Amino acid sequence: MSSDQQEPVKTICPYCGVGCGIKVQPGEEPGDVRFMPWGEAPVNEGRICIKGGAATEVVDHEDRLIEPRIKENGEFREASWEEAYEYVVDELERIREAYGPDAMGFFGSSKVMNEENYLLQKLARRYGTNNVDNCTRMCHASTVWALRTSLGAGAMTNSMRDLREEADVFWIQGANPGEQHPIANSQYFRQAVLEGATVIQVDPHANKTTRSFQIGDTERHQHLQLNPGTDIPLLNIVLKTILEHHEENPEDGWIDEEFVAERTEGFDHLKATLEDFDKQAAAEECGVSLEDIELAAKKYAEADNAAIFTGMGMSQHACGVDNVQNEINLALITGNLGRPGTGVNPLRGQNNVQGTCDVGAMPNVLPGYQLVDDDEARESVEDVWGFEIPDEPGLTNVEISYEAGDSIKGLYVMGENPVMSEPDANAVAERLADLEFTVVQDIFHTETADYADVILPATTWAERGGTVTNTDRRVQRMRGVGKVHENTRHDREILTEIGTRLFDAGFDFDDPEEIFEELRQVCPSYHGMTYDLLGEEGLHWPCYEPGDEGDPFLYEDEFETESGLGHIEGVEHTPPAETPDDEYPLILTTARLEEHYNTGTMSTRSPTLNKQTPENFVDVHPADAERYGIEDGEYVRLHSRRGEITLEARVTDDTKEGVVWTTPHFAAASANKLTNHVLDERAKIPEYKAAAAEIDVEVEPLGETADPTAED
């Protein structure tokens, strides 16, 4: 069909969680798929970042999986879909009969649509296990836990639009929207700054957000460049500064006494926690002057509307839940919740991180964050599904990987690559090799696919329809242009076929809209949504009844906790599990680049995105470079107790002395070969952001550039 016969389709960018709308124009040939701007898109109004503009470059990439593959004698061969389906179903039945249903693990994906993640978690529970999880565990599990427990919902409290229009102060901690959410940064934050808003960024690494607002002018904007893993003491300085000022000057209103009294609980616990807290000693531990932190506290407390933005720099710690709780504490004591321009707002890193959690692809919750061990909630879902759901939470994805070969005998992986994305990645690969059976369902042959017994070729984001949920809870429709490779299958088609073969009933869906109709029956916050009502604008959940317009901000009247009150809880500093010592005297921390995406499956295959940064590098402070004898551009060996990588050193004062900074995007030198697998005991999120490390000078580079076998 020629391009003048088929109109471009309106869909959503497959990269970060901002949820930008784009158009996809099909050409004369199936693989001729081109990007076009969508000027009226509700989130981005036609603007697009470098990743969105290059998103179509991988749709017909030469590395696409186009036929099922089965491993025989250590080698893959092409197979028919019938043979592949029979093999998967036979092995799933064998493992359940031999070991019980909890011997299987199921991984969903934040790059896959709501309908498909819904089917995967339903399949796992019909199989008889709650061992289902997704990559949210790696990035935002602690944020979900803290927000859900203390406020009611594990999501942004506000919408990007109301924040742009109403916020006076943006407190951005552990996030870098200039690099990781460029359209949010340019279209929302920057516009607010031009109209007078102040930015306070808290991050160990200077970055594009720092530079985009020229942070350093402390009269207006600030960058608090703290040591990795010291977010709690920094926020405790802020909180104690506000408490002390209010005690001496209550008329200034730094604490919203009425809000605290009527809408919160736990304020006395916070005060008791901070009673003997030494601000000066904490500032020295943070590596930031006390005066700068106190000035930031003043700016936040005096704002009419102050909004907190949080990211993986806060969540990816063994104390991640406590980190986010302290941000909640700050918002609650100042009354900065429940109205436009305020709140605690996690910036999601992938285009459907939020939706994947919303639909229940987690081991402890069903769709709509209903706890699996809540009898009433579980029974309400069972009434729709027609089968019993296990009543004990399952294992998280990190726990599944570390049980591989022991209690876990099989793994079903949809659109994930734990060999690249999980911490201590070398150990993960060793454990996956011990599994009896592994299925990988993806668009490219990932590093995890090396360990698969069956590989199922899926379609890309541009070829199919469904819904995704962006970072501010906006559920939006994606639309496809049709298959590029005929023998690939949509993820939903694969799951409905396997589910029907395994269980006969409950997985007979003809299209994504049918799946969504069942999803909204069991997910209260989606109940009022339909495809027609979503239209082109989408709807912010919660949307409880048809006709609801959704809520751009939450908690106007009360919090969705059992008491209806926002929960304040004082927290104390927990140092990283690894701190520098004689053997490993540096602190390693990690983050993402604007032009790349997670572990690089799509972005390193994109000529546009891979051009600027084709291989990994490590930022080293000039003082450390002098001490080690490292020249800018020289290759070094960076190593921790778990592994080593060789990469280029960039000498820069963007990082602090004693801190080295690198990325997870490149298989040849992935940071996750070095990161620590220690977990937050509640959210079970790994501590990616702080590990002890050392550098040795290398004479020659590895000779490798970005390895495109890594999955996001």
pLDDT tens sequence across 147-192: 999 999 999 999 999 999 999 999 999 999 999 999 999 999 999 9
Q: How far apart are CA 208 and CA 612, in angstroms?
A: 15
pLDDT digits (tens, 9 = 90+) for 278-314: 999 999 999 999 999 999 999 999 999 999 999 999 9
Angle between helices 231-248 and 279-286 (to 10 degrees): 150
pLDDT grade for 668, boundaries at 50, 70 and 90: confident
pTM for the model: 0.95
CATH number (3.20.20.150, 3.20.20.70, 2.40.40.20, 1.10.3080.10) of 586-697 reads 2.40.40.20
Mean pLDDT of the chain: 94
Q: How far apart are CA 557 and CA 564, in angstroms?
A: 9
Check residue 599 and give its pLDDT.
Answer: 78
Q: 3-class DSSP state for residue 481?
A: coil
Task: Name the one residue in this structure whose structure tokens are 């080295």.
Answer: 660
Query: What is the largest distance, in Å, between two alpha-carbon atoms of the chain?
Result: 77
pLDDT grade for 202, boundaries at 50, 70 and 90: very high
pLDDT grade for 705, boundaries at 50, 70 and 90: very low
Distances (CA, A) of 115 to 153, 396, 457, 495, 517: 21, 21, 18, 10, 10
Q: 3-class DSSP state for residue 17?
A: coil
Q: How far apart are CA 422 and CA 679, in angstroms?
A: 12
Span 20-27, mean pLDDT?
92
**pLDDT exceeds 50 at position 534:** yes
CATH number (3.40.50.740, 3.30.450.20, 3.90.1010.10, 2.60.40.10) of 69-134+359-540 reads 3.40.50.740
Domain boundaries 141-346, corresponding CATH code: 3.40.228.10
Of 236, 227, 203, 228, nearest to 347 by C-alpha is 203
pLDDT grade for 709, boundaries at 50, 70 and 90: very low
pLDDT grade for 479, boundaries at 50, 70 and 90: very high
Burial 583-607 (b: 16+ CB within 10 A, else e): ebebbbbbbbbbbbbbbbbbbbbbe
Q: 3-class DSSP state for residue 454?
A: strand
Per domain, the residue ranges of the chain are 9-58, 69-134+359-540, 141-346, 586-697
What single string gives the DSSP state of each residue in 528-588? Answer: T--HHHHTTT-EESP--STT--B-SS--SS--SSSSSSEEP--------SS---SSS-EEE
Q: How far apart are CA 27 and CA 7, in angstroms?
A: 10
- Return the CATH superfamily for domain 9-58: ADC-like domains (2.20.25.90)
pLDDT grade for 702, boundaries at 50, 70 and 90: low
